[in-house]
């Protein structure tokens, strides 16, 4: 059984490349133009003037040249637009920069594909310097002036002999909200090439769908880090996928110093770490505070994995009611022992909106894990509400479901800290177990017209949408394997 406190939280780009006949999985070319014009979700770029910006770089002898991976990436994006029938020079253009030059203000207002990272492309450097919150969860670092590394989901990712890492991000153009900007860059050129392949190559349709589902946000924004396997001489990409925790190293971050709320002086509850007790006291103090949160939409997804673990994804938008939101708490409970905090693979990011989240573990017990989340900057009343995504995985969290006709209970609580009912709550329970069927029984009052107690499997997840849900409502489900 898992009982997380709930903070619940795509249209794919479907195009046909006329030049090669390679299909992305959707409508014909005439509809591809419509989708581009409307700005479809995830990989969609609105129709209009588009610049693909790639730098010339210095070789070892100080001469300017094209970076092979960078220019191949830019060429692939250009071929994509040419495949739509858009003419180069009229609708789109590849613009080669000679550092430190950057494009004109007029070009900056177009749809932009920015190829190569901040170390090589002055436009990438300028965009990230002018708008440091453009990327909410990914950071580029060069410790002590050494090789670059990417920080994402509280892990550091560094290149190896046959591996590289790359950023794939699509955002609203901060220089012109009516346009879009895509950032495609690796730690090395081979990573940039792989990011371009994921964006433009029909062979990566399944990966694009996965990225869209797991990392896409409202309005079409997304960002993620890719793991790239390549040949020893970096002459070609062997494989590309989303980077996982095992591909990086956990970051040791300094604890933030929140200006409010104060940590109370009351004696904290017992825990296994004296250093964590003040944080647990703060968590308990937060639970007693007045309701200052307004949530319009919550999403909650639980996936029973093939090894009988439980993977969880939660999303919600945080609106401040009458006072600033400085901190929130997050609690997970489970029947299976989980010795350490790292085993939960907890991650918290802002997927849409400004700011970041700082995360501190507040209390560790074998069956309970408590975290504190600090939005930086605090969420102010009337300000744009950030959309928060929490992910975690409790190994062996669904072990009971191995056996036929054995019931397990799963439940979560619609955040009790909301100042008013939540407009919409979406729940999804999926099963990544081949050749198995499960019965899901709701243990709460169902909305009119909903069919109760269905059977579900790997290709048919359970889904329900509730409206006007009272804060603190406990949504419980009994799950039983029937095949």
What DSSP string describes 89-139?
TTTEEEEEE-TT----HHHHTSEEEEES-TTT-HHHHHHHHH-TTSSSSEE
What is the secondary structure of 297-331 as a DSSP string? EEEEEEEE-TTS-EEEEEEEE-EE-SS-B--EEEE
Name the residue among 119, 9, 128, 127 with its Cα closest to residue 391.
9
Quick one: 316 and 233 in the same domain?
A: no
Contacts of 457 (CB under 8 A, 6+ apart): 431, 433, 436, 437, 438, 483
In the chain, the number of structural domains is 2
Please state, in angstroms and as integers, the Cα–Cα distance from residue 81 to each residue in 18, 85, 111, 192, 222, following that order: 10, 7, 12, 19, 21
Average pLDDT by stretches of 10, the chain with 483 residues: 32 28 32 35 65 75 62 89 86 88 91 91 91 84 86 88 94 87 93 92 87 72 90 88 90 49 41 50 57 80 90 88 80 81 86 82 82 85 85 88 87 78 87 90 75 77 85 84 89
Cα Dmax for the chain: 73
274 is a domain residue? yes
Distance CA 374, CA 354 (A): 13
Q: Which two tokens stand for residue 267?
A: 């004696």
**Domain limit, last residue, from 216, 250, 284:** 250
11 is a domain residue? no
pLDDT, position 407: 85
pLDDT, position 34: 33
pLDDT, position 6: 29
In 131-270, where does DSSP find H-type helix?
189-200, 205-215
Quick one: 289 and 374 in the same domain?
A: yes
272 is a domain residue? yes
**Domain limit, last residue, from 250, 274, 296:** 250
17 is a domain residue? no
pLDDT, position 56: 81
Other C-beta atoms closer than 10 Å to the C-beta of 47 total: 18
pLDDT, position 446: 74
Neighbouring C-alpha atoms within 13 Å toward the C-beta of 448: 0
Residue 252: what are its φ and ψ, rounded to 5°? -105, 95
User: Count of H helices and E strands in the chain?
Assistant: 7, 28
pLDDT, position 127: 92
Name the residue among 217, 241, 215 with its Cα closest to residue 229.
241
2 is a domain residue? no
pLDDT, position 452: 62
The answer to whether the predicted template modeling score (pTM) of the entire model surpasses 0.85 is no
Quick one: 227 and 346 in the same domain?
A: no
pLDDT, position 45: 63
Quick one: 273 and 191 in the same domain?
A: no
Task: State the pairing for strand pair 138-141/297-304.
Answer: unpaired
Residue 161's domain comprises 41-250
Quick one: 244 and 340 in the same domain?
A: no
Name the residue among 234, 212, 232 with its Cα closest to residue 223.
212
**Domain limit, last residue, from 229, 250, 271:** 250
Q: What is the CA radius of gyration of the chain?
A: 24
Residue 413: burial class (beta carbons within 10 Å; 0-12, 13-18, 19+): middle
Q: Give me the CATH number covering residue 432.
A: 2.60.40
pLDDT, position 14: 27
Quick one: 365 and 400 in the same domain?
A: yes
Quick one: 245 and 328 in the same domain?
A: no
For residues 180 and 199, the answer to whether their CB atoms sit within 8 Å is no
Quick one: 280 and 228 in the same domain?
A: no
Please state, in angstroms and as integers, the Cα–Cα distance from residue 439 to each residue in 2, 451, 453, 478, following that order: 17, 13, 7, 8
Quick one: 77 and 121 in the same domain?
A: yes
5 is a domain residue? no
Buried b (16+ CB within 10 A) or exposed e, 346-384: bbbbbbbbbbbbbbbbbbbeeeebbbbbbbeebbeeebe
Quick one: 246 and 269 in the same domain?
A: no
Name the residue among 138, 126, 134 with its Cα closest to residue 97.
126
Quick one: 245 and 354 in the same domain?
A: no
28 is a domain residue? no
33 is a domain residue? no
Quick one: 447 and 344 in the same domain?
A: yes
């Amino acid at each position: 059984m898992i009982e997380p406190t709930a903070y619940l939280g795509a249209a794919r780009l479907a195009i046909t490349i006329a030049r090669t006949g390679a299909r992305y999985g959707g409508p014909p070319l005439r509809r591809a133009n419509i989708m581009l014009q409307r700005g479809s979700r995830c990989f969609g770029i609105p129709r209009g003037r588009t610049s693909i910006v790639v730098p010339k770089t210095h070789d070892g002898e100080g001469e300017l040249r094209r970076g092979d991976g960078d220019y191949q990436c830019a060429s692939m994006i250009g071929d994509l637009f040419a495949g739509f029938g858009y003419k180069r020079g009229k609708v789109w253009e590849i613009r080669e920069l000679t550092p430190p030059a950057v494009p004109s203000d007029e070009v900056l207002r177009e749809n932009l594909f920015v190829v190569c990272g901040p170390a090589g492309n002055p436009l990438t450097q300028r965009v990230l310097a002018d708008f440091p919150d453009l990327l909410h969860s990914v950071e580029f670092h060069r410790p002590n002036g050494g090789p670059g590394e990417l920080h994402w989901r509280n892990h550091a990712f560094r290149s190896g002999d046959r591996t590289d890492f790359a950023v794939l991000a699509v955002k609203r153009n901060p220089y012109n909200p009516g346009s879009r900007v895509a950032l495609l860059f690796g730690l090395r050129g081979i990573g940039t090439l792989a990011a371009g392949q994921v964006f433009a190559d029909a062979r990566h349709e399944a990966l694009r769908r996965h990225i869209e589902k797991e990392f896409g946000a409202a309005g079409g924004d997304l960002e993620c880090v890719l793991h790239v396997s390549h040949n020893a001489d970096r002459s070609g990409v062997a494989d590309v996928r989303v980077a996982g925790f095992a591909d990086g190293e956990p970051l040791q971050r300094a604890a933030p110093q929140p200006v409010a709320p104060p940590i109370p002086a009351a004696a904290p509850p017992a825990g296994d770490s004296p250093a964590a007790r003040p944080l647990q006291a703060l968590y308990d103090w937060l639970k007693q505070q007045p309701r200052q949160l307004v949530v319009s939409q919550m999403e909650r997804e639980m996936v029973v994995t093939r090894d009988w673990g439980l993977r969880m994804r939660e999303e919600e938008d945080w609106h401040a009611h009458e006072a600033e939101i400085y901190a929130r708490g997050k609690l997970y409970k489970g029947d299976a022992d989980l010795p350490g905090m790292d085993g939960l693979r907890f991650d918290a990011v802002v997927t849409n909106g400004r700011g970041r989240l700082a995360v501190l573990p507040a209390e560790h017990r074998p069956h309970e894990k408590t975290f504190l989340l600090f939005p930086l900057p605090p969420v102010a009343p009337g300000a744009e509400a950030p959309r928060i995504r929490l992910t975690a995985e409790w190994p062996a969290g669904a072990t009971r479901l191995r056996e036929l006709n054995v019931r397990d209970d799963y439940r979560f609580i619609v955040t009790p800290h909301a100042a008013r009912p939540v407009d919409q709550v979406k729940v999804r329970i999926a099963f990544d177990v081949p050749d198995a069927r499960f019965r899901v029984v709701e243990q709460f009052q169902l909305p009119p017209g909903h069919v109760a107690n269905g059977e579900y499997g790997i290709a048919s997840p359970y889904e329900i949408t509730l409206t006007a849900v009272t804060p603190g409502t406990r949504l419980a489900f009994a799950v039983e394997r029937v095949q």
